[in-house]
Structure 1
Amino acid sequence: MEKKNIYSVEEFNQIAEENATFLIFKNSTTCPISLAAFEEYEKFVEDQDTVPCYYLNVQDARPLSNHIAEKYEIKHESPQALLFKNGEVVWNASHWKITYSSLQENVK
């Protein structure tokens, strides 16, 4: 499945409106841990076609990253994976806990 980079609160709100379930990955473009987690995320996205997947680079989309943290009361971390279902975050992981198998186990 395709992964899409999002930048704005408006884009996020539209995604949330159109999808009961979706995955967001918060990425830091300067962190080696983030790079490793992003590679795991990319492998997961390639291998599944049921859950829409999006990502944001926190350096480029700080207002969006802050919006998600505040609205859903989840401490901002980077890297961070967030699974949304019916308007709520039902699973999240950060740093080394973001692996292909943790994504597969919790997202599918």
Structure 2
Amino acid sequence: MATKAVTDASFAADVLASDKPVLVDFWADWCGPCKMIGPSLEEISEELADKVTIAKVDIMESTDTAAKYGVQSIPLMVLFKNGEPVAQKLGAAPKSQLKGWLESEL
């Protein structure tokens, strides 16, 4: 399963109510580093599909969610478990680092 686009309207159902961990990638179209890690996140979402859902929140469209979680710099990845943010990683990184970080937090 590829990454899932999530909006202000669907955030509660898609992320907070999820029965498995959800990694939320806060991003925007104009963000170069966000675009750089996009393909890596797609691959990780397929490799770890049984363990985690990877969701993408466009901060320009979902301003309420971005504000609620204090997103000031992107790309920002926040891992949610049982509806709570438990870990976060700021900035772009190689796929191996992103996957290693995520696996260590799951």
The verdict on a shared fold, with TM-score over 0.5 as the criterion, is yes
Aligned to 1:72: none
Shift of 1:20: 4.4
CA distance in 2, matches of 1:103, 1:19: 22
Q: Is the 8 A contact 2:18 2:83 kept in 1?
A: no
CA distance in 1, matches of 2:7, 2:84: 20
* Amino acid of the structure 2 residue aligned with 1:85: K
How many aligned residue pairs are there? Answer: 101
CA distance in 1, matches of 2:40, 2:11: 22
1:102 partnered with 2:89: no
- TM-score, L = length of structure 1: 0.77
Deviation per CA, 1:35-59: give whole Å up to 9, x if none. Answer: 1122221221132212011101111
Q: CA RMSD in A?
A: 1.9
Shift of 1:82: 0.8
Q: Is the 8 A contact 1:27 1:55 kept in 2?
A: yes
Aligned to 1:29: 29
CA distance in 2, matches of 1:31, 1:61: 15
Aligned to 2:81: 85
Give the 3-state SS of the residue equivalent to 1:65 in structure 2.
helix
Report 1:17-96 matches (<5 A): 17-49=17-49, 50-69=51-70, 75-96=71-92
CA distance in 2, matches of 1:21, 1:100: 19
* Runs of 4+ residues deviating >3 angstroms: none
Which residues of structure 1 form unaligned runs of 5+? 70-74
Which residues of structure 2 form unaligned runs of 5+? none
- TM-score, L = length of structure 2: 0.79
**Richer in helix (by share):** 1
Give the 3-state SS of the residue equivalent to 1:30 in structure 2.
coil
